[in-house]
Amino acid sequence: MEIRPRETVNDTTRYDEAAAQATSSGFVYVAAAFAALGGLLFGYDTGVISGAVLFITKQFSLSTFPTELVVAVVLVGAAVGALTGGRLADRLGRRLTLLLTSIIFILGALLCAFSSSLAVLIVGRIIVGLAIGLSSIVPVYISEISPANARGWQASLYQLAITIGILAAYLVDYAFASSEAWRWMLGLAAAPGVLLGIGMIVLPETPRWLLERGRVDQAREVLRRVRGNANIEAEFEDIRQTLAQASERGRFADLKLPEVRPALIVGVGLAIFQQVTGINTVIYYAPQIIQSAGIPSASGAILATAGIGLVNVGMTVVSMLLIERVGRRPLLLTGIVGMIISLGVLGLAFHSSLASATLAWVAVVTLMAYVASFAISLGPIFWLLIGEIYPLRIRGLASGTAATVEWLSNLLVSLTFLSLLQVLGPSLTFWTYGILAVAAWFFCYYLVPETKGRTLEEIERHWRVSRFWKSRTV
């Protein structure tokens, strides 16, 4: 049974229903696709270093610690960028924040490509990280321009772009490996950065942010544009009324308000579980895992890794096709079960005394199953939900907070994975991620609401009148 917020019974119910029927114009697809370029840069810049680092180490004669630094500072920069980006997006607007993001991406990529010393390279990587963190505002931008019945797949374009970016990075690494051209590997990220910038110069601010800032005429004009001149008055009124009822003022202290806290717990919890269930051990270290399972040739391992990257992209598309039909919760819960099973089997395979050729194939297939399960669940749905579950007045700040926790959790897992492998061995390491995935399942089952087909305003009103543990349907 769907539980409707008590206070929506009168006018707002009428507005809700009309607003939920709103359609999109072709323009909204273009806007969403341009914004999603932020995800492409995110995926590319986090993925490309795995190949580039081999040659960087050689060029600057690096020992282990500086090498780890070159890899990991991006994650630190991203954590800082996500928090700053959230605040900026509330103050300056979503569009200007994304424009700034593109400029920082370009500067960072060029600095890395032309770096003459290790110090310059590290600064360049921090700058790239900042931009990656800032790009976490993309799902908010897309959610705020999309109609309720298409928001799921349109906001998932961000995750799709992340996976395409990762795959492109694997391929670029492969292409430049023989010439050891690491500067090209890092510098190429400037190109999509330019496209993102051009997009953000010509695309509009979101109607919701404009209305929040009192720019009523502009907001109405943009809403008309993204809805293709359909009748927008119901949706417009709905946003206006919800804003009038809001108690938040966009400050950090507001994150503790009773109507914000449940949504914050959902976002932060998903951020932690998205990472501690081990996805980036596969994304960053797949060739090493596959080699240790018994495919000795580096090129064989890299090829298998590219296969995993392809599965990641393909299953993200599948999730986008399903998300409006089956909803967020069923995809999330089913995908996490797939992750639990594949992590269990992967651990078993390393535990058993399989012949190395068999073990290698079992490892490749289970890694693919694991990534496929992530790609229909925790991957896209974390980013989608943090763009849609927070009240408008603190949407940037709250989603930036969740994204910061995501980056810090990523850092924790990336820094501990190799040591865990040494201390616990592969079986126990993968089983540990499997147990954390079981915890993730229960977290999602009890706390994550279904937002399919609901307008952002309905979701916002839901938290004011109802606690998430009483109703799993917004």
What residues line the site for ligand BGC (CB under 6 A)? 159, 162-163, 166, 279-280, 283, 312, 379, 383, 410
Residue with tokens 């939900």, as numbered in its chain:
385
The nearest distance, CB 373 to ligand BGC, in angstroms, is 12
The nearest distance, CB 413 to ligand BGC, in angstroms, is 9
Looking at the Cβ atoms of 250 and 379, the one nearer to ligand BGC is 379
The nearest distance, CB 42 to ligand BGC, in angstroms, is 8
Looking at the Cβ atoms of 19 and 332, the one nearer to ligand BGC is 332
CA-wise closest residue to 156 among 36, 23, 38, 275 = 36
CB 210 within 8 A of CB 88: no
The nearest distance, CB 379 to ligand BGC, in angstroms, is 4
The nearest distance, CB 10 to ligand BGC, in angstroms, is 40
Looking at the Cβ atoms of 86 and 93, the one nearer to ligand BGC is 86
Looking at the Cβ atoms of 166 and 222, the one nearer to ligand BGC is 166
Looking at the Cβ atoms of 28 and 132, the one nearer to ligand BGC is 132
Cα Rg of the chain (Å, integer): 22
The nearest distance, CB 458 to ligand BGC, in angstroms, is 26
Looking at the Cβ atoms of 20 and 138, the one nearer to ligand BGC is 138
The nearest distance, CB 26 to ligand BGC, in angstroms, is 27
* Backbone angles phi and psi of 450, in degrees to 5: -90, 125
Give DSSP secondary structure letters for 396-437.
HHHHHHHHHHHHHHHHHHHHHHHHHHHHHHHHHHHHHHHHHH
Residue with tokens 């399903």, as numbered in its chain:
322
The nearest distance, CB 135 to ligand BGC, in angstroms, is 11
CB 394 within 8 A of CB 246: no
The residue type of 146 is S
Q: What is the largest CA-CA distance in the chain?
A: 70
The nearest distance, CB 152 to ligand BGC, in angstroms, is 15
CB 300 within 8 A of CB 319: no
Measure Cα distances from 51 to 184, 224, 229, 306, 356 in Å: 12, 46, 48, 12, 25
Looking at the Cβ atoms of 35 and 111, the one nearer to ligand BGC is 35
Looking at the Cβ atoms of 46 and 242, the one nearer to ligand BGC is 46
Measure Cα distances from 45 to 125, 187, 321, 413 in Å: 9, 10, 27, 18
Residues 287/52/42/432 CA torsion (nearest 10 deg): 30
Residue 473 DSSP label: B
SS3 140: helix
Looking at the Cβ atoms of 45 and 458, the one nearer to ligand BGC is 45
- 62, two tokens: 């690096």
Q: For the purposes of burial, counting CB atoms within 10 Å of the CB of 447, is it exposed (0-12), middle (13-18) or buried (19 or more)?
A: middle
The nearest distance, CB 382 to ligand BGC, in angstroms, is 6
CB 312 within 8 A of CB 160: no
Looking at the Cβ atoms of 12 and 319, the one nearer to ligand BGC is 319
